[in-house]
Structure 1
């Protein structure tokens, strides 16, 4: 096991009636690594059993909420047991399980964002029931600039965002701020003080029955879970197919080398 995997990179505490889960893998901008997914699953399971928490708050340490997939893991070669394509498909299935764990959680989940959100991180935000974004927040679906598709996360994103705005975000990879994220439906609130806004939202759940919250949330989540279940294998296949293409190899190499990819020509 690596040193990173042994570290606690997802913190858990209960305060003010909320289970507060904090992503703290700042060395890779809270990227979706194997270790982060495992620890986040554990924290979500713990929150489901925590009778002192009526709601879950998913926040972050550092200036990034989540940078998307850990490309240092994603760019690894296959093993004797599996090809790179099979590994990509398996990573996608693992991420699908994480999205389902958030969407199907018995308690409301609030994303508390005051930093950068990219690619798969947008999927985490859209899987949450509420998203509160502060002034340091910025958002982008950067997959298109790597030669990838926002396959799995397109399902929860389509459930939150206006269709024309989602099309522009998916097809351009443009960055936008919290005010724009509010206008297009990605976040619930764009605020100056995330902590205060989240605490106010948490307080709104205190009069609510745990059973009532669980049953009403299940009603809201059912259509989204059904679509994820129906399309999960198809979308995993899209990601697996693209990860083996020369364009993705170039896109990820350019990202890791901090340069423009070969197709990003300057305008004449």
Structure 2
């Protein structure tokens, strides 16, 4: 495996740029990627020259979800901690998606304060098709997404596009809005951003306080189940799982 970073860091006019760059596993949430992403977030938060953080990606996939071969330290709780660190960051985090986002990648996207998606972006909650459920990522997804749409896409695993992601509230805007969003963040004061963000994330953080332990337990239980083993095995073998009709 290359020694190149899985999360590249850059700086552009007051914006810390964190680029997911782990093409061998489609930017899945491996132990190394999660560690490097948390380090990049921490560095950006501590840098007085950074007004906001832009999370983007290389390749055709923003994030494929959990890395089943190399899970993040702490398992489901480790993922919850990553998502909470984004929500709690006093500096706004903006996500730019120009490719595919699946499963846990949608939780990462929903943790960000603002998100934009290009025409080539696609989204799917694929967990139910593998014998799993979008448990931990519900901490960020459900407070910010239309409940009827969440029910549909959680249950069916259907793929939907950027326009639908904007309509249901999972994504803030289409990609052409990004420059204006970043200019607006550059024009705001650090205190104004931090205190305004505190207002918009209060309910999400209450959800973390209330539900993290139960959702992490649910996720761990499902991953250890025979149905999930069959679902994950069938996915790796590119065949239909035994329950498909």
Match of 2:62 among 49, 65, 74: 65
Q: Partner of 2:188: helix, strand, or coil?
A: coil
Q: Which residues of 2 match residues 23-172 of structure 1 at below 5 A?
A: 23-73=20-70, 90-172=74-156
Q: 1:207 Cα shift?
A: 2.1
Find the aligned partners of 1:203 and 1:73 in 2 and give their Cα distance: 38
Q: 1:34 Cα shift?
A: 0.3
Match of 1:212 in 2: 192
Match of 1:182 in 2: 166
Match of 1:199 in 2: 179
> Would you say 1:15 and 2:12 are equivalent positions?
yes
Q: 1:16 Cα shift?
A: 2.4
> Would you say 1:247 and 2:227 are equivalent positions?
yes
Q: 1:258 Cα shift?
A: 1.7
Q: Partner of 2:69: helix, strand, or coil?
A: helix
CA-atom RMSD in angstroms: 1.5
Q: Is the CA contact (8 Å cut-off) linking 1:33 and 1:70 kept in structure 2?
A: yes
Q: Partner of 2:106: helix, strand, or coil?
A: helix
Find the aligned partners of 2:98 and 2:204 in 1 and give their Cα distance: 26
Find the aligned partners of 2:101 and 2:174 in 1 and give their Cα distance: 14
Q: How many residues align?
A: 245
> Would you say 1:233 and 2:230 are equivalent positions?
no
Match of 1:259 in 2: 239
- Following TM superposition, the consecutive aligned residue runs of length 4 or more in structure 1 with deviations greater than 4 angstroms are none
Instruction: Point out where structure 1 has 5 or more consecutive residues left out of the alignment.
Output: 75-86
Question: Normalising by structure 2, what TM-score?
Answer: 0.96
Q: 1:160 Cα shift?
A: 1.3
Q: Is the CA contact (8 Å cut-off) linking 1:102 and 1:128 kept in structure 2?
A: yes
Find the aligned partners of 1:234 and 1:159 in 2 and give their Cα distance: 17
Q: Is the CA contact (8 Å cut-off) linking 2:129 and 2:157 kept in structure 1?
A: yes
Find the aligned partners of 1:236 and 1:7 in 2 and give their Cα distance: 31
Find the aligned partners of 1:133 and 1:24 in 2 and give their Cα distance: 18
Of structures 1 and 2, the larger Rg is shown by 1
